[in-house]
Structures are given as structure tokens and as C-alpha cells.
A and B are shown apart, each in its own frame.
Chain A
């Protein structure tokens, strides 16, 4: 089976750095996505990792360690608009595009 774990809630201060961790167990591995979802809106794509290491994209970076079944999303220079739910997601091992979601981490950025 496949299972994804991530913290339910996190709080951080505007301008700071926050790291959201995700661990996963999969029977096969087809990469790992991070999506951002603001309340009442559609989840939107942030990053995709399939190889080990850090992928940087502006203020957001995503890291993957396949041997450890571990990923994190790093958000720098936090802004109030970064308050949202961050979803750790992996494609199903069936390789049909079906996505397996974690519960999401609700990040609250405070002034």
C-alpha cells in the first residue's frame, strides 16, 4: 500500500523560514509532488522531485531522499499570502496518474 505522513499544522513568522516535512511509504516510486492550496481554492502545483536532492524555485525549495522515504518543502522569506495548506502527494505505483495525498499541513504565517 501507499501512505503519506505530514504534520497537521505549523505556525511561522513573516520573513522567517519554515520547513514542512513529509514521509512516505510506497510499493513503487514515481516521484513526489508538493501542492499549495488556499482555503476554498484549487490545489496548485509547486514542485516535483523524482531524483534525490534539492530543487530550488524562487522562495520555495523541495528536497527528496528516496532511500529514507522523506521529502521536505522549504519556504523562505515567508509572506502572509503563504498561509495555506501544503499537500505532499505521490503518484500511485500503478503509474496511471492517480495521485495519493497526504492530509496536508496547514501553515499559518503571523506578522
Chain B
């Protein structure tokens, strides 16, 4: 079974530019989560999809971040325009069930550097 994949693995962009991160969850997992880790801080929740619907987007920092999951398969996270404080590692995770008792499978992350 293929794991969660993310693309790109690294991205370096200038302040004001746009970047789109992609996540492919494990096949059959309806639940998809985005998290972010900024340097020196803990991993923090951004949002949760159930299939194509946003279940919880309480962690999204501001309206420069837009997440989509058209068709309920892969998801994209767009940052437009990027700011310096957006630098960090963006993780995607998927799970079969939204029940907190079920483990989430994480992708390797996209390391975003905004200069």
C-alpha cells in the first residue's frame, strides 16, 4: 500500500510569490489533514477534509491560504501571496476514520522557504 505522498519536497520562493503544495493521501482514506511546523515550534493543525468537504479549517492562519480537495482525492494548499512567516514544513496526513482513536498516516512534508 502506497503511503501519503507530498509534492514538492522542497520549495524556495520569494516573498509575494505564490506556491501550491500537493498531497496524495492513502487510497480510500476519506479524511485528509494539513499541518504545519514552523521553526522552533510544535506541529500545528491547519485544516481537515472529509472527502471533498472542509470539516474544520480553524487552524488556517489567514485568507492567504487556500486548500482544495476537488473530487475527494488529492488536495492542494495554495499560499498567495507568500510571506516570510509562512516558512516551515507542511505535512499532510490521512486516515480512514475521523475518530480520534485512529492513527493518522503522515507524508514526508514539504519544506517551504520564503525569502
Contact with A along B24-53 (1 / 0, CB 8 A): 000000010101000001111100100000
Interfacial chain A residues near B103, Cβ < 8 Å: 33, 45, 48
B interface SS class = loop
Say which residue of A42, A44, A102 sits within 8 Å of B42 (CB atoms): A102
Residue A92 is within 8 A (CB to CB) of chain B in the complex: yes
Q: Tell me if A20 is interfacial: C-beta within 8 Å of chain B.
A: no
Contact with B along A25-37 (1 / 0, CB 8 A): 0000011010100
User: How many residues from A make CB contacts under 8 Å with B?
Assistant: 27
Residues on A with C-beta less than 8 A from B44 are 101
- Across-interface contacts of B101 in A (CB, < 8 A): 30-31, 48, 50, 91
Query: Which of B67-75, B77-85, B106-114 forms part of the interface with chain A?
Result: B106-114
Which of B43, B98, B105, B108 meets A97, CB within 8 Å? Answer: B98
Check if A40 is an interface residue, CB within 8 A of chain B.
yes
Interface residues of A in 32-63 (CB under 8 A from B): 33, 35, 40-45, 48, 50
Q: Are A96 and B42 touching (Cβ within 8 A)?
A: no
Q: How far is the CA of A40 from the CA of B33 in the complex (A)?
A: 19
Question: What are 10 of the A-B contact pairs (CB < 8 Å)?
Answer: A35-B106, A42-B106, A91-B101, A96-B56, A97-B31, A97-B33, A97-B104, A98-B33, A98-B56, A102-B42
Q: Which residues of B line the A interface, CB within 8 A?
A: 3-4, 31, 33, 35, 41-45, 48, 55-56, 59, 91, 93, 95, 97-109
